[in-house]
Amino acid sequence: MVKVPVAGRVKTRLAAEMGVATAARFARHAASALLQRVAHDARWQTTIAVAPDRGASSPIWARGLMRQPQGSGDLGARMQRIMQRTVRGPVVIIGTDVPGIRPSHIQAAFRLLGMHDAVFGAATDGGYWLIGLRRRPRILKPFAAVRWSTPHALSDTLANLRGRSIALTATLADVDTASDFARHAAAFGRRVPGP
Instruction: Give a yes or no: residue 194 inside a domain.
Output: no
> Is the pLDDT assigned to residue 195 strictly greater than 80?
no
Mean pLDDT of 136-151: 93
> Is the pLDDT assigned to residue 64 strictly greater than 60?
yes
Give the H or E element holding residue 177.
none
Instruction: Give a yes or no: residue 106 inside a domain.
Output: yes
Instruction: Give a yes or no: residue 148 inside a domain.
Output: yes
Distance (Å) of CA 164 to CA 27, 102, 134:
34, 27, 11
Instruction: Give a yes or no: residue 195 inside a domain.
Output: no
Distance (Å) of CA 97 to CA 74, 89, 94, 120:
18, 25, 9, 16
Report angle CA 35, 41, 45 to the nearest 5 degrees. Answer: 85
Instruction: Give a yes or no: residue 180 inside a domain.
Output: yes
21: domain CATH number?
3.90.550.10
Contact between residue 115 and residue 54 where contact means Cβ atoms under 8 Å apart? no
Instruction: Give a yes or no: residue 89 inside a domain.
Output: yes
SS (H, E, C) 65-104: CEEEECCCCCHHHHHHHHHHHCCCCCEEEECCCCCCCCHH
Segment 9-45, tens digit of pLDDT: 999 999 999 999 999 999 999 999 999 999 999 999 9
> Is the pLDDT assigned to residue 63 strictly greater than 60?
yes
Number of domains in the chain: 1
Domain extent for 142: 2-187
> Taking the C-alpha atoms of 164, 111, 147 and 69 in order, what is their torsion angle to the nearest 10 degrees?
-120
Contacts of 59 (CB under 8 A, 6+ apart): none
Give the H or E element holding residue 118.
strand 118-122
Rounded CA gap, 166 and 180, in Å?
A: 28
- How are beta strands 118-122 and 166-168 bridged, if at all? parallel
Fill in the amino acid letter for 46.
T
Give the H or E element holding residue 49.
strand 47-51
pLDDT of residue 188: 54
Contacts of 76 (CB under 8 A, 6+ apart): 143, 144, 146, 148
Contact between residue 76 and residue 85 where contact means Cβ atoms under 8 Å apart? no
> Is the pLDDT assigned to residue 138 strictly greater than 90?
no
Instruction: Give a yes or no: residue 67 inside a domain.
Output: yes
What predicted TM-score, i.e. pTM, was given to this entire model? 0.92
